[in-house]
Amino acid sequence: GAGPSRRCCSASSASCPPPGPRPRYRWRRECFPRISAVKSWADAFGGELYSIVTKYSGSLLLQKKYKDVEPTLKIKEVDGLELVKKFSEQMESMLRRKVEAVERLVEAAEDADLNHEYNSSLEFDYYNSLLINEKDENDNYVELGDEFILEPNEHFNNLLVNTTYSDIQLPTNVYNKDPDILNGVYMSEALNPIFVDNFERDPTLTWQYFGSSTGFFRLYPGIKWLPDENGVISFDCRNRGWYIQAATSPKDIVIIVDVSGSMKGLRMTIAKHTIITILDTLGENDFVNIIAYNDYVHFIEPCFKGILVQADRDNREHFKQLVDELQAKGVGTVNKALTESFKILREFRDAGQGGLCNQAIMLITDGAVEDYEAVFEKYNWPDRKVRVFTYLIGREVTFAPNVKWIACNNKGYYTQISTLADVQENVMEYLHVLSRPMVINHDHDIIWTEAYMDSALFASQAQSLLLMTTVAMPVFSKKNETRSHGILLGVVGSDVPLRELLKLAPRYKLGVHGYAFLNTNNGYILSHPDLRPLYKEGKKLKPKPNYNSVDLSEVEWEDQDEIVRNAVSCFGITPPLADKPSVFPPACSLGVVLSRGHGEYILLGNTSVEEGLHDLLQPDLSLANEWIYCITDIDPDHRKLSQLEAVIRFLTGEEPDLECDEELVQEVLFDAVVTAPMEAYWTTLALNMSMETEAGVEMAFLGTRAGLMRSALYVGSEKLSNRKFLTRKDKESIFTMDHFPLWYRRAAEHPPGSFIYSIVSEDDSGNLSLNTRGEKRKFFPYSFQCHAYPNPFIATLTGKFLGAVDGSVMTQLLNMGMFKNPGKHLPLFGPLCHRCQSPVSQGRCPRYGPLTLPVLVPAAAHKHKKHDTLQPCDTEYPVFVYEPAIKETNGLIECGDCQKMFVAQQIASSNLLLLVTDAACDCNIFPPVLLDAKEVKYILLLCDRMRSQKLRRRPDTCHAFHPEENAQDCGGAAELSVSLTLLLLPLALLLR
């Protein structure tokens, strides 16, 4: 490309040195286009591009229309403290209704039990959820399986339900006509009218239920329950987090397991299953450790030596893997293990760590022979602050008196576990013992569970809105003759989808990058736009292993000192309603984030309903259907209305019962009027377009803060390069409950009057794809996976990152400051929930859809298994930020055998750069600069992280002991009977 006035040198030129064994040549500066020439190219290209986009977007007309109405506009400053107070009050009001519904169920259940006399020969038919609508070979309904009308219901995820009646679910190992079951089911029939009445009072209620201590589960609305692929119903309500949390207070537990030689074979298998079952009864408010003993005492996780760790999902799963590897050998002596356990519990209690409530030791052994009374005298008597529960493994009864003595003299409970089928029921006994003080005192604590996944919503909702929580309360026996026994009848509960709470913190009040989040007392996220709890395995979405134990600090990277995290986790920011105690979950806090520049102010316009209605009815207009302009999910007649239809019916008076957000509706009316001329403008352009000279312009669209969108096609829909764009399936491109559209968020970061150009991903894999089809001036919306920065680099017409194409130029641009890597491979804690790193110190990371790579690696320690165990891994990745103050730069790169020149020039009114470089000089001595995430291998740091105890707020109540408790009720040697069906189940299934 050298002009006639330039003299270029090459290896074959007569004026160059003759070629040798290693020819070396250099491009002279005059061989390369002048910097001024590159600037003129950039200006010409940018000017033409700006002219085309301005014309077909209609941006100047839109600016004029807003200018015309400027005198009538009001600007309102957003008050973050006022917002969070208002949102929390609304949420608390909503949650109070859930609590009141549960309280009515508790009262009804306790009264029904008080008035019910146990009848061991009771005969009673009920709706068994497994058997309903089932017929025998004679076309007669089977026993407990009468006709039960089921209809699809949108409020319950379109499942087939019966909203007039509840039905009963039982695990396979519970006999459905056992006298205890029949009496409990008969007694709990009194809950049916309460379920229905609750739903009528509060149509936002979802599932309501009663889980009985005998094992049956009464669920409203009634459904058909299906067994798993093996014909088994493994769901046992008594195993669920809501049941366990409501039945007991926080627990510090040390599990001691005998791994001496006598425990080999089936005994070891039963012991492992017992430990895993105990772990499943623990939650994030509990603390735990596991000690194995034979000739010596060892912690199964050496990193946890001498401490207790939080029993969150991560740690529980980690323990389960280690338990699976235990092997029996040597001789067992329990004294040292007991001593170590008492020391840990005492140290934690004295230091104010752990749950600071119940403390217990679980001893799992096939026998105890040595003199262990001295240990209890030294560490636990006379106060007996630590309960000891003992599990005798195997059929041998020789040591039963010894093992029972340990439990009975330490306010615990003794059971013998002879088969795998015995494990579940025997482990549950310890929960009944721990619940006694609360039951005797009749303390009906309100329990809010940790977040859990609603799998029915996997395919239909934003990932950050999939989680649910449960409000639950215990149900006690009021009969005086059973008072000292502290009989827990069961637990009632109701599910609360977190998306229902976040509807009360609407997007339009928070601004482009603003958002609300919910956090637990332990610092774990209940809901957050950057929480990605699912990963893709093949075509299926599955929950990540640690989806509900992601700490707030793992997604709010800017909060490096964890000031915000500790504030919302340890103290809470939600005020109680006036004159009423707060029912806002003590395990939950609300936070609101507003970003400077894009969420500080709200524009308030004024227009008449008549004028606005006319413009709302135009075919090119749509509203954010996930936003709540009008509440349509309470009245069944409203549920099929789109938000736009609901707004129109509200404004026309057709649906006077609709409850609408009048402020948001007024904003929509104003936006509809101001943007109305765009339809005629775009239509005129489309009719006058010459496709031969102006090919490549396909669509114009606009969006407003009120969630209104308009769009126009310049080509037939079949010719669109990306047919998913602006459709509900392509949720990155429309207004959703989770976020403003991607193009909207990115444009908001740029100065007024400039345009954003980008390339989109066309497939589901996240890989970039580009289809230029040789058309002139064709540009595509582009987004690589972490769009956290105002000016991400665009690789011209390839969709590839420049560093991957030319590492030499990217390295030089980094050295010259045109691009910066502020993080320098900052580690991402929170293995499967990645977050953006913000390069802007005064602002938060904009919500551009952070990295969502499902990083799962096979666990090295489990390669002997048939299937690799997937586990989370920490990753780090580089980020690069363009420095807009540098308008142009150039340089010469030494590449060994040649020199490479380059010129980079900013294209005005855009986020584009024009980069010109020569291709003749191969500069492969510079490695590529990649955006790939890499796994971080920790050694000591990993142990430190696992041991760390972040600040947390403990639950408000504790019920550890009661003076009237009957501690002599401490178990017996009789084996529990189980159903024949369960005994015949294959061993592999029972171990699953």
Cβ contacts of 358 within 8 Å, gap of 6 or more: 248, 249, 250, 251, 252, 387, 434, 958, 960
CA-to-CA distance for 588 and 434, rounded, in angstroms? 25
Nearest to 757 by CA among 721, 727, 724, 793: 793
User: Residue 472: which of 990, 106, 217 has the closest Cα?
Assistant: 106
Whole-number Å distance between alpha carbons of 549 and 522 = 9
pLDDT band at 490 (very low <50, low <70, confident <90, very high): very high
Report CA-CA distances (Å) from 498 to 291, 363, 516, 682. Answer: 38, 39, 12, 41
State the Cα–Cα distance between residues 987 and 254, nearest whole angstrom: 28
pLDDT in tens, 896-924: 888 899 999 999 988 889 999 887 888 88
Residue 75 · residue 692 · CB < 8 Å: no
Q: How confident is the model at residue 539 (pLDDT cuts 50, 70, 90)?
A: confident
In the predicted model, what is the mean pLDDT of residues 823-827? 41
The tokens describing 297, both together, are: 């005492």
Report d(CA 503, CA 507) in Å as an integer: 9
Q: Is the pLDDT of residue 833 over 50?
A: no
Helix, strand, coil: what percent of the chain each, to 5?
A: 30, 20, 50
State the Cα–Cα distance between residues 515 and 630, nearest whole angstrom: 20
What is the value of pTM for the model shown? 0.77
Alpha-carbon distance of 107 to 475, in angstroms, equals 8
Res 220: pLDDT: 97
Residue 188 CB contacts under 8 Å (≥ 6 apart), including other chains: 109, 112, 210, 212, 218
User: How do residues 641-651 score in pLDDT, each as one tens digit?
Assistant: 999 999 999 99
Residue 977 clears pLDDT 70, i.e. is over it: no
Write out pLDDT tens, residues 772-799.
222 222 333 322 222 222 333 333 445 6
Asked if residue 823 has pLDDT above 80, the reply is no
Q: Give residue 528's pLDDT.
A: 84
pLDDT of 966 higher than 90: no
